[in-house]
């Protein structure tokens, strides 16, 4: 079983348990996944926090060190692959999505501190991700 953090088009966040990613996607396409709060079937997966679990609690084997550079590359690649780049128009597009003028979707871009303040005042949730410069040569080695 796998657990996904899900969100409906009304902004309700909830968990869904599925046999696999494919199982979730098949059910979601058929509108079989619905929000438990409002019964909305327009559902999307949210990026979930990462956790590492030992196979058995009695095993005291030290965990391998985390390769933070690889993890950062994976996060950046995920964002680049799954979020539309709207560049400096981020605040404007976030407002359009919030008020239903534009379709709800994952977006990424940049905003000034004044635009960020404005988004917060409007009740629009967003998070800032520092995007490191990815060394292409390092990617080829890994």
Segment holding 140, helix H or strand E: helix 136-141
Q: Using the CB atoms, write b or e for 47-64: b if 16+ within 10 Å.
A: eeeeeeeeeeeeeeeeee
Summarised one tens digit per residue, pLDDT across range 60-108 is 566 678 888 888 888 888 888 999 999 999 999 999 999 999 999 999 9
Q: Is residue 83 classed as helix, strand or coil in its secondary structure?
A: coil
Task: Please give the pLDDT value at position 102.
Answer: 93
Do residues 27 and 18 lie in contact, with contact meaning Cβ atoms separated by under 8 Å?
yes
Query: 130 in a domain, yes or no?
Result: yes
Sign of the alpha-carbon dihedral angle for 33, 39, 41, 47: negative
Summarised one tens digit per residue, pLDDT across range 3-56 is 888 999 999 999 999 988 889 999 999 999 999 999 999 999 987 666 555 555
- Assess whether 40 and 72 both reside in one domain: no
Is residue 121 very low, low, confident or very high in pLDDT (cuts 50, 70, 90)? Answer: very high
Which two tokens mark 6? 């899900």
Query: 59 in a domain, yes or no?
Result: no
Query: 79 in a domain, yes or no?
Result: yes
- Assess whether 74 and 116 both reside in one domain: yes
Query: 51 in a domain, yes or no?
Result: no
Which two tokens mark 14? 């909830």
Summarised one tens digit per residue, pLDDT across range 30-44 is 999 999 999 999 999
What's the 3-state SS for 85-107?
Answer: EEECCHHHHHHHHHCCCCCCCCE
Query: 35 in a domain, yes or no?
Result: yes
Separation CA 28–CA 12 (nearest Å)? 16
Range of the domain at 32: 2-45
User: pTM for this one?
Assistant: 0.49
């Amino acid at each position: 079983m796998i657990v996904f953090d899900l969100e409906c088009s009304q902004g309700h966040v909830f968990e869904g348990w599925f046999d696999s990613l494919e199982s979730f996607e098949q059910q979601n396409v058929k509108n079989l996944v619905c929000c438990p709060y409002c019964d909305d079937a327009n559902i999307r997966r949210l990026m979930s926090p990462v956790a590492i679990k030992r196979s058995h609690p009695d095993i005291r084997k030290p965990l391998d060190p985390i390769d933070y550079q690889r993890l950062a590359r994976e996060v950046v690649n995920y964002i680049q692959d799954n979020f539309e780049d709207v560049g400096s128009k981020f605040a404007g597009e976030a407002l359009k999505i919030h008020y239903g003028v534009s379709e709800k979707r994952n977006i990424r871009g940049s905003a000034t501190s004044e635009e960020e303040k404005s988004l917060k005042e409007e009740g629009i949730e967003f998070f800032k991700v520092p995007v490191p410069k990815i060394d292409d040569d390092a990617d080829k080695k890994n």
